[in-house]
């Protein structure tokens, strides 16, 4: 096998063991353990797939040393009792079986605990709202006003916790792990002690640099005492915290030297503190490898291996930064959620097969960890659902018509085909991709296109028939056993005066994909270009279409107004994205981002609706207090979406076996569409009931997403 990536696939020594390649699974709390923190099959399956996929060094996600005082997520692993060693040892063995070396990250969340929700402990009694963390802000919005409590630990409690970290590490070692990692990043307990912004103690654990470092250094000493000098201890911390008054790269370099002196085996350089969720959980806006410069700088000052992470996706890029000596290992969290087989695919020279993570944070964060659920993924249905890893062949093959070639339709076709069904996709445009393609023209959202390309590649590879520019009627669907409607939602056109005026267009018109000579759309002569808006634009709506139009137009230097019914704009949006987006709307940027900023801040008009649009550009608005106002604009963009059941209802009446998925059924997000599609592809033959003559006797369920 040729090796396109010689640096990625070269071994490296960490402490007393050798890792077969430079690929590291950086810690990811998948919140899938049992309620008592013990390891179960769900956890083992997840990590075993990462090991099978060719990752050389797997660091298990945040595991608590004391579940009574702090769990980072409700489903985190616990290392606080000896009975946990049983499951942990099976976990280590499952990864070792496939040649991976192992570590487990011990983390106490302190102020950021998901559980308990009361009487939280921290170095300081500073009460903070932490947007986007898996802590309890989601449960109690406006938590400060509602009496959130965080109290400063006593000295006795600090020493007690140090002991618990030591005991936890001993259990990890007993379970057969090759090493342990301490979580000193993202504003969790160790980071709270290290951070000059958070740590306001004036005893031996606060104040000066060395006092702030004492907690973590004492933990290292305690681990070495319990586990022996040889047991490798790594540390994860943020190269920059990106918060006024907090740590910068200069101090992080001093910290690296100190850790090396204290016998640390490796450094895992992350970013951010949860007050600023952008750098910590880098949403879609952040370019590949934006945080690597911190590892690069730190690496110049130490000899122990340094790992970099944050939006690493492409093997070519990883090879480059390794070859240039900017890092010793490349670290992936979300990339392995989206595709655990990254390593093997890269090694086999099949990089187009890699389902690159689009950094949407919807499945793995917003709709799981943040709301106290098991981790999921918007684009990989196999996360948390083993049925997708070992797909069973269908007992009976169906001819399936799939109307709509967006993400839901393509996923239904992909899974169904892999199971032996015969799918035909009817797509009304000349190109597969559906609503994802709107993101092609939105700065900062282009990663969405990676997923569209991956799906299109799979459709091609599996030989799925696609009928382009086709909107079938009931009679065209006669020969099919099952019809799946996946044509997306439709733009809402409220019945108000002027809604058809020449200055009015839809978000689809503005965001239309303008990629020319797209390999999936060779006949681009009939591809309409996007509509050009005037200098001042009023966007009416509150969903992805609205947010993306504003992003595109703001970036192009337009004056933008948003009119929304809601009290705040984009309350539905994943919070790390929303945090960055709102900073951009205000004319600023996400911390660490170098992308172009808006010329004019965006004006959001909440709790309001449009009454009338005039050809001359006068738009009349009314708010919830019945106060009327007028805005002068050049263009109005309709950006609300609704589901669309017209075809479904008529097919049902004609006795067709039919199901709706994605936005056509209910307007949600990418995860909704892909999950619907995947589940339908998986269960279609089980849900369709046949009588003794092999005739269909029931219709498909309409609510598929769990
Ligand atoms: C679902 C999820 C869980 C995470 N859990 C942890 C964790 O347990 N410990 C940790 O240090 N970082 C954790 N992170 C942060 C990641 O390790 C990583 O730093 C971040 O996602 C950016 O890197 P990526 O682009 O490779 O995902 C988590 C991130 C996600 C999305």
Residue 6 lies in a domain: no
Helix (H) or strand (E) holding 250: helix 249-261
Length of the chain in terms of residues written? 706
CA of 27 to the centre of ligand 1 (A): 6
Domain finish residue from 342, 358, 387: 387
On whether both 350 and 428 belong to a single domain, the answer is no
Does 301 fall in a domain? yes
* Segment holding 96, helix H or strand E: helix 84-96
Cα 280 to ligand 1 centre (Å): 8
Distance, CA of 376 to CA of 354 (rounded, Å): 18
Say how many Å lie between the CA of residue 235 and the centre of ligand 1. Answer: 14
Q: Per-residue pLDDT for 214 more than 70?
A: yes
Least confident of 128-142, 160-174, 545-559: 128-142
Q: Is residue 464 part of a domain?
A: yes
Q: What is the mean pLDDT of residues 229-242?
A: 98
How many domains does the structure of the chain reveal? 3
Q: Whose CA is nearest to atom 4 of ligand 1?
A: 28
Instruction: State the burial class of residue 511 (Cβ atoms within 10 Å of its Cβ: 0-12, 13-18, 19+).
Output: buried
Q: Tell me, in angstroms, the distance from the centre of ligand 1 to residue 422's CA.
A: 38
Please identify, among 387, 409, 433, the residue that sits at the C-terminal boundary of a domain: 387
Ligand 1 atom with the smallest distance to the CA of 361 is 31
User: Sign of the CA dihedral 688, 691, 692, 695?
Assistant: negative
Quick: pLDDT tens for 520-535.
565 556 678 899 999 9
Q: Would the pLDDT of 134 be above 50? A: yes
First to last CA, the chain: 41
**Do residue 627 and residue 649 come from a single domain?**
no
Domain co-membership, 430 together with 446? yes
Q: Is residue 395 part of a domain?
A: yes
**Cis omega before residue 116 (within 30°)?**
yes
Could you tell me the CATH number of the domain that includes residue 20?
Answer: 3.20.20.70
Residues 484 and 551 in one domain: no
Give just the sign of the alpha carbon dihedral 662, 663, 667, 673: positive
For the CA of 368, the nearest atom of ligand 1? 1
Q: Name the residue among 362, 524, 359, 365 with its Cα closest to residue 449.
A: 359
The yes-or-no verdict on residue 143 having pLDDT over 70 is: no
Q: Please give the pLDDT value at position 125.
A: 86
pLDDT at 119: 85
Domain, as residue range, for 346: 12-387
Hunting for tokens 């670290």 — which residue is that?
331
Q: What is the mean pLDDT of the chain?
A: 93
Q: What is the pLDDT of residue 517?
A: 59
**Do 165 and 46 fall within a single domain?**
yes
Q: Which of 241, 455, 379 is nearest to 671 (CA)?
A: 379
Q: Which residues contact 548 (CB under 8 A, 6 or more apart)?
A: 438, 439, 442, 445, 507, 511
Centre of ligand 1 from the C-alpha of residue 706, in Å: 24
Taking only the tens place, the pLDDT of each residue in 563-622 is 999 999 999 999 999 999 999 999 999 999 999 999 999 999 999 999 999 999 999 999
* pLDDT band per the 50, 70, 90 thresholds, residue 78: very high
pLDDT at residue 158, as a whole number: 98
Residue among 291, 334, 577 to mutate when testing ligand 1 (max atoms within 8 A of CB) = 334
Q: Are residues 435 and 336 in the same domain?
A: no
- pLDDT, tens digit (0-9, with 9 covering 90-100), for 418-427: 999 999 999 9
Compute the distance from residue 364 Cα to the ligand 1 centre, in Å: 10
From 28, 57, 273, 287, mutation site for ligand 1 pocket: most ligand atoms within 8 A of C-beta: 28
- Output the pLDDT for position 218: 98
Task: Give me the residue label for tokens 């681990």.
Answer: 223
Question: For the chain, what percent of residues have pLDDT higher than 70?
Answer: 93
Q: Which atom of ligand 1 is nearest to the CA of 183?
A: 11
Place 144 in a pLDDT band, splitting at 50, 70 and 90: low
Is 698 a residue whose pLDDT tops 80? no
Is 197 one of the catalytic residues?
Answer: no
Whether 437 and 569 map to the same domain: the answer is no
pLDDT level of residue 342 (50, 70, 90 thresholds): very high
Take atom 11 of ligand 1 and give the residue whose Cα is closest: 27
| Choice among 46, 188, 285, 561 that is catalytic | 188
Least confident of 146-155, 216-225, 535-544, 673-682: 146-155
Confidence at residue 693, expressed as pLDDT on a 0 to 100 scale: 53
Query: From the alpha carbon of 61, which atom of ligand 1 is closest?
Result: 8
**Domain membership flag for residue 694:** no
Ligand 1 atom closest to Cα of 336? 26
Residue nearest to atom 10 of ligand 1 (CA): 27
CB 562 within 8 A of CB 602: yes
Does residue 200 belong to any structural domain of this protein? Answer: yes
pTM over 0.75: yes
Q: Is pLDDT of 687 > 70? A: no
Q: What number is the average pLDDT over the span 466-483?
A: 91
Q: What is the mean pLDDT of residues 630-649?
A: 94
Residue nearest to atom 14 of ligand 1 (CA): 28
Beta bridge partners, 234, equal 181, 266
Q: Is residue 516 part of a domain?
A: no
pLDDT of the residue at 706: 45
Residues 571 and 671 in one domain: no
Contact 201/207 with Cβ under 8 angstroms? yes
The residue whose C-alpha atom lies closest to atom 5 belonging to ligand 1 is 28
Q: Ligand 1 pocket: which of 23, 24, 25, 27 to mutate (most atoms <8 Å of CB)?
A: 27
Query: Token match 């009314």: residue?
Result: 622
- Which ligand 1 atom sits nearest the alpha carbon of residue 359? 25
If asked whether residues 590 and 671 sit together in one domain, one would say no
Banded pLDDT at 655 (limits 50, 70, 90): confident
Q: What is the mean pLDDT of residues 205-213?
A: 97
**Residue 613 maps to which CATH number?**
3.50.50.60
pLDDT at position 133 is 74
Ligand 1: centre distance to CA 255 (Å): 21
Identify the CA nearest to 457 among candidates 419, 410, 423.
410
Pocket test for ligand 1, best of 333, 334, 368, 447 (most atoms within 8 A of CB): 333
CA of 452 to the centre of ligand 1 (A): 24
Residue 551 lies in a domain: yes
Within 10 angstroms of residue 593's Cβ, the number of other Cβ atoms is: 21
pLDDT band at residue 30 under the 50/70/90 scheme: very high
Q: Are residues 295 and 407 in the same domain?
A: no
From the list 683, 682, 672, the residue with the least C-alpha distance to 705 is 672
25 CA distance to ligand 1 middle (Å): 10
What mean pLDDT comes out for the span 459-473? Answer: 95
Q: Which atom of ligand 1 is nearest to the CA of 28?
A: 5
Spatial separation of the C-alpha atoms in residues 289 and 374, rounded to whole Å:
28
Name the residue at shortest CA distance from atom 18 of ligand 1: 333
For ligand 1, atom 30, the nearest C-alpha belongs to 28
Q: Answer for the pair 635, 537: CB distance below 8 angstroms, yes or no.
A: yes
In terms of domains, do 237 and 186 share one? Answer: yes
CB under 6 Å to ligand 1: residues?
26-29, 61-62, 105, 183, 185, 236, 270, 281-282, 309-312, 332-335, 364-365, 369, 375
Window from 134-138, 378-382, 510-514 with minimum mean pLDDT: 134-138
Domain at 676, CATH number: 3.40.50.720
- Choose the final residue of a domain: 624, 642, 660: 642
Strands 635-638 and 504-506: parallel
Residues 202 and 320 in one domain: yes
Q: 130 falls in which pLDDT band (50, 70, 90)? A: confident
Give whole-number Cα distances, 612 to 134, 620, 636, in Å.
Answer: 43, 5, 11
The mean pLDDT value for 450-474 works out to: 95
pLDDT at res. 694: 47
């Amino acid at each position: 096998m040729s090796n396109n990536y010689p640096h990625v696939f070269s071994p490296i020594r960490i402490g007393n063991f050798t890792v077969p390649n430079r690929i590291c699974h950086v810690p990811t709390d998948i919140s899938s353990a049992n309620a008592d923190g013990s390891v179960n099959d769900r956890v083992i399956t997840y990590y075993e797939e990462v090991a099978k996929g060719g990752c050389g060094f797997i660091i298990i996600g945040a595991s608590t040393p004391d579940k009574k005082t702090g769990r980072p997520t409700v489903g985190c692993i616990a290392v606080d009792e000896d009975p946990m060693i049983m499951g942990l040892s099976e976990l280590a063995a499952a990864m070792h079986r496939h040649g991976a070396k192992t570590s487990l990250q011990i983390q106490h969340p302190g102020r950021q605990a998901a559980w308990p929700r009361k009487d939280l402990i921290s170095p300081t009694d500073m009460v903070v709202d932490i947007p986007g963390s898996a802590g309890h802000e989601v449960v109690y919005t406006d938590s400060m006003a509602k009496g959130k409590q965080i109290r400063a630990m006593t000295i006795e409690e600090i020493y007690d916790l140090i002991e618990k970290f030591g005991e936890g590490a001993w259990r990890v070692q007993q379970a057969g792990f090759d090493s342990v990692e301490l979580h000193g990043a993202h504003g969790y307990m160790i980071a709270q002690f290290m951070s000059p912004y958070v740590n306001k103690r004036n005893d031996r654990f606060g104040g000066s640099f060395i006092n702030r470092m004492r907690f973590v250094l004492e933990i290292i000493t305690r681990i070495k005492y319990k586990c022996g000098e040889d047991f490798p201890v790594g540390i994860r911390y943020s190269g920059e915290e990106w918060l006024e008054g907090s740590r910068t790269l200069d101090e992080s370099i001093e910290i690296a030297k100190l850790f090396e002196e204290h016998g640390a085996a490796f450094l895992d350089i992350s970013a951010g503190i949860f007050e600023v969720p952008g750098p910590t959980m880098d949403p879609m806006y952040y370019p590949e490898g934006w945080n690597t410069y911190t590892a690069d700088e730190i690496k110049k000052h130490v000899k122990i291996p340094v790992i970099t992470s944050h939006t690493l996706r492409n093997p070519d890029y990883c090879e480059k930064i390794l070859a240039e000596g900017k890092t010793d290992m490349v670290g992936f969290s979300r990339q392995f959620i989206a595709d655990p087989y990254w390593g093997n695919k890269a090694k086999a020279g099949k990089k187009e097969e890699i389902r690159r993570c689009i950094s949407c944070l919807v499945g793995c964060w917003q709709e799981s960890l943040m709301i106290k659920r098991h981790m999921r993924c918007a684009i990989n249905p196999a996360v948390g659902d083993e049925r997708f890893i070992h797909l069973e062949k269908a007992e009976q093959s169906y001819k399936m018509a799939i109307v709509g070639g967006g993400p839901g339709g393509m996923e239904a076709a992909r899974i169904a085909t892999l199971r032996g069904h015969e799918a035909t996709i009817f797509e009304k445009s000349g190109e597969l991709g559906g609503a994802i393609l709107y993101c092609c023209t939105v700065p900062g959202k282009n990663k969405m296109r990676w997923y569209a390309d991956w799906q299109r590649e799979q459709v091609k590879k599996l030989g799925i028939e696609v009928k382009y520019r086709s909107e079938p009627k009931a009679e065209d669907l006669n020969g099919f056993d099952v019809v799946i409607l996946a044509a997306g939602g439709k733009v809402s056109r409220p019945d108000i005066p002027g809604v058809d005026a020449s200055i009015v267009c839809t978000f689809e018109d503005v965001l239309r994909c303008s990629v020319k000579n797209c390999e999936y759309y060779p006949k681009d002569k009939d591809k309409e270009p996007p509509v050009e808006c005037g200098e001042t634009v009023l966007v009416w709506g509150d969903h992805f279409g609205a947010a993306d139009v504003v992003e595109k137009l703001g970036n192009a230097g337009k004056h933008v107004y948003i009119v929304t019914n809601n009290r705040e704009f984009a309350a539905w949006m994943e919070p790390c994205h929303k945090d960055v987006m709102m900073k951009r709307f205000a004319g600023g940027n996400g911390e660490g981002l170098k992308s172009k900023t808006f010329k004019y801040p965006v004006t959001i008009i909440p709790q309001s609706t449009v009454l009338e649009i005039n050809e001359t550009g006068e738009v009349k608005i009314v708010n919830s207090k019945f106060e009327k106002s007028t805005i002068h604009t050049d263009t109005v963009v309709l950006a609300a979406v609704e589901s669309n059941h017209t075809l479904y209802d008529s097919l049902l009446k004609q006795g067709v076996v039919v199901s709706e998925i994605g936005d056509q059924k209910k307007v949600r997000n990418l995860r909704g569409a892909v999950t619907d599609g995947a589940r339908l592809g998986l269960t279609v033959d089980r849900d369709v009931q046949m009588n003794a003559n092999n005739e269909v006797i029931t219709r498909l369920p309409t609510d598929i997403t769990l």
